[in-house]
Amino acid sequence: MILKVKNISQIGGVVKAPPSKSYSHRAVILASLAKGTSRLYDMLYSEDTLASIRVCEALGAEIRKKQDYLEVTGTAGCLHNSSDSAIDLANSGTTLRLMTSVSALADNVVTLTGDESLKTRPMGMLMDALLPLGVETESLNDNDKAPILIRPGYQGGETNIMGNVSSQFISSIIISSPLSDKGVTLYVLPEFKSKPYVNMTLDIMRKFGVKVLKGYYLKHESCDKLNQSCRIDEFKVRKQAYIGCDYTVEGDYSSASYLLALIAINGGKARILNLFRDSKQGDKFILDILQQMGATVVRGEDYVEIASEGRLNAIDVDLSNAPDLLITVAVLAAMAEGTTNITGVAHARVKETDRIDTTCRELEKLGCKLVEREDGMSITGGVNGGTVDSHGDHRLAMAFSLIGLRHDIRITNGDVFDVSFPNFIEAMDELGFELELEDE
């Protein structure tokens, strides 16, 4: 399907941010591991989170969608795989990474697979880190990627993992650790990127009754070549149980970035509800970015107000702790005055696509001047209309639609926003930006 702009009316108004995809994944997984029954309010039902629901059901959780909440009767950590074949996770990299560790808690073999895109996601680092904990895994195509077979047995103990590839590897081990035989001590080796995502994991684990001890120390010999000390982060998780609870999923700053950027680029004023000031989400950083680029942002307790005259300035920005903002910020940069330098996102090359490469290639199709770097890009404002391809990446489809505020834009494979923001078109329409899908 092709995504394109149908109409632009008075931009602005009030709209509710969609529920957080990251918290929705974690909520259904922890509720499925817990003792008792949980009620999950304001859950996001997207293609990705439905993959997490499916695999949790396959491993023994009883999940029922009610009118106002998702009811989950947990397994108390006693998992059993009822699937006769590999469990299909579609395109959900989050589900694959989080559930690889969790699946080792089952009393029988679990195989996780997905679509062709998911089968390109590197998993070797997580598989290697699980081995010292007694977890045996196997890449069935012998390439450290899905499909992955996970054998039963999770002894626990000590292990380490690099922190500069995917925070989801770290969250995966931490989430499963309390239900291992003897608990886990995890050392995260430098450089630790995307820390806020791990903080989100620790935050929701506390809500389900599990405590994690967090610390760090400095080690000199690990960084001899740099002649400086390196920080080693340490997570200690003793054996304990998750307890079912009532939990409300907060709004998603990643998805809200498109609503906020809409106002910043076009001009106008809007209030986005369900965005909490004390949120642990790293993508809350979008508010600082928009302020630096010239928008006015007011942070309420549970909402954000943004106002803009539609004139944006270039900035220098390090997105190491908010890589999911990369494409949104790249589009903002293409619509701003001057040259924006984006750094710190080398780990964005192992997302749904190589997001640095695909973003640069699609912006070039629209006449944008840029320089691609290993960990980011420099973008000089100025872009034309045209046709681009989403490459099956939901964030590219949504971010590039904003170029339609000033130029005709057509996005092939543009219906992939269902992965994280199923009512994207409706939410944008509430703010006066009317999009439509048509057959290719």
Say if residue 147 is preceded by a cis peptide, omega within 30 of 0. yes
* DSSP label at residue 317: E
CA distances (Å), origin 419, targets 254, 265, 296, 318, 398: 13, 24, 30, 26, 11
Tens digit of each residue's pLDDT (9 = 90 or more) over 130-180? 999 999 999 999 999 999 999 999 999 999 999 998 999 999 999 999 999
CA distances (Å), origin 136, targets 128, 131, 145, 151, 283: 9, 6, 14, 6, 34
- pLDDT for 217: 86
Confirm if 75 and 47 have CB atoms less than 8 A apart: no
Tens digit of each residue's pLDDT (9 = 90 or more) over 56-88? 999 999 999 999 999 999 999 999 999 999 999
Over the range 391-422, which residues count as b (16 or more CB within 10 Å of their CB) and which as e? Answer: bbbbbbbbbbbbbbbeeebbbebbbbbbbbbb
pLDDT category of residue 223 using cuts at 50, 70 and 90: low
Taking the whole predicted model, whether its pTM rises above 0.95 is answered as: no
* DSSP label at residue 79: B
Tens digit of each residue's pLDDT (9 = 90 or more) over 249-283? 999 999 999 999 999 999 999 999 999 999 999 99
Which domains are assigned to the chain? 2-18+251-438 (3.65.10.10), 19-121 (3.65.10.10), 155-240 (3.65.10.10)
Tens digit of each residue's pLDDT (9 = 90 or more) over 24-59? 999 999 999 999 999 999 999 999 999 999 999 999
Beta strand 268-273 with 62-65 is unpaired
- pLDDT for 225: 47
pLDDT at 227 over 60: no
Confirm if 377 and 371 have CB atoms less than 8 A apart: yes
CA distances (Å), origin 155, targets 132, 135, 386: 9, 7, 55
Average pLDDT over residues 179-198: 95
pLDDT category of residue 218 using cuts at 50, 70 and 90: confident
* Residues 6 or more apart whose Cβ sits within 8 Å of residue 106: 59, 79, 80, 81, 150, 152
- pLDDT for 224: 47
Q: How far apart are the first and last CA of the chain?
A: 5
pLDDT at 327 over 80: yes
Q: How far apart are CA 249 and CA 227, in angstroms?
A: 44
Nearest to 83 by CA among 150, 177, 27: 150
Q: How far apart are CA 172 and CA 186, in angstroms?
A: 11
Beta strand 376-380 with 339-343 is antiparallel
Q: How far apart are CA 171 and CA 94, in angstroms?
A: 10
Over the range 276-297, which residues count as b (16 or more CB within 10 Å of their CB) and which as e? Answer: beebbbbbbbbbebbeebbbeb
Task: Give the residue numbers marked as catalytic.
Answer: 324
- pLDDT for 226: 46
pLDDT category of residue 351 using cuts at 50, 70 and 90: confident
pLDDT category of residue 440 using cuts at 50, 70 and 90: confident
